[in-house]
Structure 1
Amino acid sequence: MTTSPLRPGDPRRLGDYRLLSRLGEGGMGTVFLGRDPEGGPVAVKVIRPEHASNDEFRARFRSEVERARQVPSFCTAAVLDADPDNDTPYLVVEYVEGPSLQDVVEERGPMSPGDLHSVAVGVAAALTAIHGAGIIHRDLKPSNVLLSLGLPKVIDFGIARALEGTTKYTRPGRWVGTVDYMAPERLDPDVGPITPAADIFAWGGVIVFAGTGRNPFYGDTPVATAAQILTKAPELRGVPSSLVDLLTRAFARDPADRPAANELLQQLLAVNVPHAGPKTRRADSRFDARDLLSQVIAEGPKPAPANGHAPVDSPPPALADPAPLSRVASRQAASRRRASSSRVTTRRLAYAVGAVMAASVAAATVAYARTTGDPVAEATQPQAKLAPVSMTPAMRGPSFSDPLSGPGRFHESKAEFGSCTFRNGRLEAQVNGGTTYQCPGPEDAFSGNQTISVRVELASPDACAMVWFRFDGARGYQVTACADQVELEKLDGVLLSSLGKTSSVTVQPGGQHDLAIVISDQHAAVTIDGQDAVQGAVSDPDLAKGKIQLGVTTTNGSTKAKVWYSNLDTRTG
């Protein structure tokens, strides 16, 4: 994301945050790149002085900030802090590294059908979370969709209401926001009240722009564009046929005829994801890391009414080889350490969420059910209607259980870099620092849906357990479970790409933990002791099958590290 230097009149510090450079400017204020007290990057939105001096605006801004804090942070930029009572009111949100959808389309042209569908899913997931917290975005547009490494992140949700609802800024003929993506009811109050359905209309405009490079309604002036929205049908030429029906519903003149965000998400996930042909896929736009829900909502704030739309002006919720991997492994471990220390892994710009199948549907549906109060059983029923996308062959591989108490499917090995031995009824994997050691395991190749579970214990805080799947000796997917982080990655020779990571659910040394990987079509979900850890797409067609392996690595290159394994179980189908 491009930045510009601070100007003479710009603040250098606000509260605990040091401001470094400018990220952008809009009607509400200026967005700065800042650092939090721990040195992490944040985005700080500073309100314009003319708004800050208005008491009505401050009151509304304070209310909307409290609402925004309730929005779960999957597919949205999390609200971290705010001070609406400061002489210079400001809002601190998660810094999302990546360009906006607007910039990507303007620079590279319309998206391919598959990538467009991914963006459609990601933005719909974000709206599901936003509406579930009782918020209407009110200014959804391509520049407010940032394309992070694994998924789209929607920003600036709900804050526009603080300005829109202030009488000084809402004279007739004056609109707050971008007219191109405004629903009819935002332009003409006679159409009806503003509800979350207005965001669904805007979602349609964002998707048409991403897929065609133009707006669905166009006029030479904002007033002319508004007239088009109020009187004309949207221009959908060039939009993939798989999205036309949903877009038509999203652009319905009557807000009551538009789908709710959760319905929109369900319908999108039930559609076979279109894949770009060789003429449309760009060599510089690979989409390997596609991940929909990095987390689900533990519990939701305010229920929505029966029509699925959240309340508009209700009060905000209370805050409440058998040998080691040797040289290749050394490079791999070094790559991981660099990634861990600088938060930088191989960055392939993934514009969207991608192929998300049954596991993600369940996560999204349960999340929405928890926020709306709908029965989970009823909400999850559409899973049965899904047409899963699968590029994996029919061959599966056997299901088996191995207590790992002695040689069987896994064997002992020893080398300069480490060893795998059976001690006290468990498999002990040891690495002698600065590399990764892999225990020789079964030669069976596995593909398709599969569940892998194993009990692990770390001997020290520097040790990390590793599980590979769909692995062919040099390429595959791997889960690294450490005392401070769990990460899902794709290994391509010596190249590592992170598909997702978390520090909130980890494997603590000295205790036994159950690590499970559920692979459903092109999606993998990792849990630790039954708690959701990380999720990611395993959609590379060249990695559709491979072996399961166990191993060990260390976060400290100068020390030995040990991990013990027991009770390995894998089920296919």
Structure 2
Amino acid sequence: MSTGLRPGDPARLGGYEVLDRLGDGGMGSVFLARSPQGRLVAIKVVRAELSHDEEFRGRFRSEVNRARQVPPFCTAEVLDADPDHEPPYLVVEYVEGPSLAEVVRRQGPLGAAQLHSIAVGVATALTAIHGAGVIHRDLKPANVLVAPGGIKVIDFGIARAFEATSQHTRTNQMVGTVSFMAPERFDTTSGRPVGPAADIFAWGALVAQAATGRNPFGGDSVTATAMRILTQPPDLTGLGGPLRELVSRALEKDPAVRPTARELLDGLLTAAQPGAAGGPAQGVSGTPSVPGSPAAGGDDQGARSMPPGPATAGRAGSPRRRWLTALGATAAVIAVLVPAFLFGPQLLRDESKPDPAGSPANGSPATSGPTASASSSASGKPAASPSASVDPTRAMLAGQRRILLHLVEIDRDLSLPSHGELEVGNGTGKDALFVLEPVGVDYMIKSVNPEIAHRPCLGVKLDSEGYKSLVGADCRPTKATVFAISREGQDDKGRTSYAITNDEYGPVQWSPTKREIYVEFLGDAPLDTTFSLVDRGAV
């Protein structure tokens, strides 16, 4: 929405000509601009007080790089960024269309078919965002654009850079909108990282508000709303059918029992099947069916029978979807387009290279991440070793195979001896065997050395001088023990190579001078330490 340029607004940002002010938010201002190639873009200029903060710049750069991995078909594509500009800015695709907040404000509660399309579109976007290793952290109707080319979710992931730079927020202040915050977002003492389940909670609140015109936890003050989120069930009066059940599950207080984004999609597709009780045309209580919706056809059995993929593997590869209006939303269209998207990100890349989860070229997604627990025992170990038909890299990322963590640049392997200090060696001993334990979109890395009964997981240790090393730690998901694993290329043996990064402290690196592993944010320096996963048999 145009608000007009103000005195003091920039005329140019880098090579971009600023044309108009689109709005303001908690992180900064958004401008409409024209690129050197003549393309209209949206530029988010972050708050001026962050300009001289190197910690913020490093985090901003890291989050932008992650956000660039999100497939653009259901999000506003990240085009450019300059963390070193005064002030830093981010350039994204300009999406022409009102936000969901504006649509609901103008039209009131959505009709059943349009509501179902919104629910599917946002769940699809979350699957893509989580698949790229990103968590949105501020999903709300204002960040969902209803554009002629399809639903677009904006402002994903970048909130992490702001939220983690705590000196720029007041005590107990968080980035986000309270009405859509999950209960765990209010717990600042646990030390547990916010996971993708927080976005699922926001999805539930967003869909409920679009269906009823009110927030399911709305109170007369921010404090009252927060207390209702923490202690009261959601008010879903007016929302019925299978959509009510999915929204109710998404709004569970315990993040562990909420569905994943992929499971939301499965549930929405099942509800959209012809003959399904209370399908999308009955999503809102008392709303009559829309003639012709859902339409027959469009087999979604393939999507519902596929195992869910690991969150770090990423998603991509779907045609752009046309906006499914109340007059044109059909279950057949949804069922055909969504499974194509779920085939995985590497369909848009070089198919001669395996993807981060080792997905084969036919696009079958990997089994890992938070939804992999269906094949695991209560102890977290797989109930059975993978069959011969399962790609071994997928199985390694699912926590079903023992692995060597091979340090590509020096042709050595990590090992964790019983004394708990990480070393590098030739990979021949029991000290060098590890297994990955999925935690949301990330992983804990656990030694399977039988001599280590205490502190078998890798963790970041910060000494009194600020040096960060890798040591053995208790296997609890904390900011020090959870790592992202992202594809970087291939090693000299043709195996996929990965960066291993701790969101709080930075990527795992090798110091040639000290000849030891450490952890540090890179800033502008290139990543020069990568790892390949070497299969060493079933767990």
Q: When the two structures are superposed, what TM-score results if normalisation uses the length of structure 1?
A: 0.52
Change (3 A) 1:36 1:78: same
Distance (whole Å) between structure 2 residues aligned to residue 204 and residue 231 of structure 1: 17
1:275 paired to 2:281:
yes
Superposition CA RMSD, Å: 3.4
- Map Cα deviations across residues 320-339 of structure 1 (whole Å, 9 max, x no partner): xxxxxxxxxxxxxxxxxxxx
Q: Give the counterpart letter for 1:56 in structure 2.
A: E
Tell me the distance in 1 between the aligned counterparts of 2:326 and 2:6.
33
The answer as to 2:365 corresponding to 1:366 is: no
Post-superposition offset of 1:263: 1.5
SS in structure 2 of the partner of residue 32 of structure 1: strand
Question: What is the SS of the residue equivalent to 1:22?
Answer: strand
Matched, 1:248 2:248: yes
The alpha carbon displacement at 1:51 in A equals 2.0
State the alpha-carbon separation in 2 of the partners of residues 98 and 306 from structure 1. 32
Residue by residue over 1:239-264, the C-alpha shift from the partner in whole angstroms, topping out at 9 and shown as x without a partner, is 13221111111111111111111111
Structure 2 counterpart of 1:196, which letter?
P
Aligned pair in 2 of structure 1 residues 81, 16: CA closer, same or farther (>3 Å)?
A: same
Q: Do the aligned partners of 2:262 and 2:308 also contact (CA within 8 Å) in 1?
A: no
User: Contact (CA 8 Å) 2:4, 2:22: kept in 1 or not?
Assistant: no
**Residues 78-227 of structure 1 aligned to structure 2 (within 5 Å):** 78-189=77-188, 192-227=192-227
For 2:288 and 2:40, the matched residues in 1 are separated by 33
How far residue 16 of structure 1 moved from its aligned partner, in angstroms, is 1.5
Alignment of 1:230 onto 2:236: no
Contact kept? 2:344, 2:365, Cα under 8 Å:
no
Q: Which has the higher strand share?
A: 1
Alignment CA distance shift 1:226-1:135 (3 Å): same
Q: CA deviation at 1:172?
A: 3.8
Contact 1:287 1:349 (C-alpha < 8 Å) held by counterparts: no
Q: Which residue of 2 aligns with 1:262?
A: 262
Secondary structure of the structure 2 residue equivalent to 1:88: coil
| 1:358 CA drift (Å) | 3.8
Q: How many residues align?
A: 328
Q: Quick one: distance in 2 between partners of 1:309 and 1:43?
A: 28
Taking only the aligned residue pairs, the percentage that are identical comes to: 55
SS in 1 for 2:218: coil
108 and 306 in structure 1: CA distance in 2 versus 1, 3 angstrom threshold = closer
Shift of 1:353: 6.9
Larger deviation: 2-11 or 133-142? 2-11
Q: Which runs of 5+ in 1 are unaligned?
A: 293-304, 312-316, 318-345, 381-573
Shift, 1:265, TM fit = 1.2
**Corresponding position: 1:61 with 2:60:** yes
TM-fit CA distance, 1:378 = 7.1
Q: Could you tell me which residue of structure 1 aligns to residue 13 of structure 2?
A: 14
* 1:60 CA drift (Å): 1.1
**CA shift at 1:52, angstroms?**
2.0
Distance 1:80 1:258 in 2: 33
- State the Cα deviation string for residues 152-204 of structure 1 (Å, max 9, x = none): 10000001111100121345432211000001111114675310111000000
Q: Distance in 1 between matches of 2:359 and 2:27?
A: 36
CA deviation vs aligned residue, 1:323-374 (integer Å, no higher than 9, x gap) = xxxxxxxxxxxxxxxxxxxxxxx99978997533442243132137966556
2: CA distance, partners of 1:348 / 1:247: 20
TM-score by length of 2: 0.56
Aligned to 2:342, the other structure's residue is in SS state helix
Label 1:254 to 1:352 Cα distance change in 2 as closer, same or farther (>3 A): farther
The alpha-carbon distance between structure 1 residues 259 and 371, as it changes in their structure 2 partners (threshold 3 A), is farther
CA contact (8 A) 1:365 1:379 kept: no
Question: Closer, same or farther in 2 for the Cα pair 1:223/1:78, shift >3 Å?
Answer: same
Residue 48 (structure 2) pairs with residue 52 (structure 1): no
What letter matches 2:269 in structure 1?
A: L
**Inter-partner Cα distance in structure 2 for 1:352 and 1:56:** 48
Alpha-carbon distance, 1:149 to partner: 0.6
Deviation string 1:365-424 (CA, Å, 9 cap, x unpaired) is 2137966556755779xxxxxxxxxxxxxxxxxxxxxxxxxxxxxxxxxxxxxxxxxxxx
* CA distance in 2 between partners of 1:66 and 1:188 (Å): 28
The one-letter code of the counterpart of 1:243 is L
In the TM superposition, 1:161-560 aligns within 5 A as 161-189=160-188, 192-272=192-272, 273-275=279-281, 308-310=310-312, 355=331, 356-367=333-344, 373=358, 377=364
Change (3 A) 1:371 1:149: farther
Q: Distance in 2 between matches of 1:282 and 1:267?
A: 19
Amino acid aligned to 1:141: K
C-alpha change, 1:70 and 1:148, in structure 2 (3 Å) is same
The answer (yes or no) to whether the contact 2:204–2:251 under 8 Å persists in 1 is yes
Return the index of the structure with the highest Cα Rg. Answer: 1
Separation (CA, whole Å) in 1 of partners of 2:229 and 2:120: 24
Q: Which residue of 2 aligns with 1:302?
A: none
Q: Per the alignment, in what secondary structure is the counterpart of residue 239 of structure 2? A: coil
Cα distance, 1:287 vs. partner?
11
Amino acid at match of 2:77: A
Matched, 1:25 2:31: no
Alpha carbons of structure 1 residues 13 and 359: separation in structure 2 relative to 1, 3 Å: same
The structure-2 alpha-carbon separation of the partners of 1:83 and 1:140, relative to structure 1 and needing over 3 Å to count, comes to same
Are residues 82 and 119 of structure 1, via their aligned partners in 2, closer, same or farther at CA, if it must alter by over 3 Å? same
Distance 1:379 1:248 in 2: 27
Contact kept? 2:243, 2:280, Cα under 8 Å: no
Q: Does the 8 A contact of 1:56 with 1:166 survive in 2?
A: yes
Amino acid at match of 1:159: I
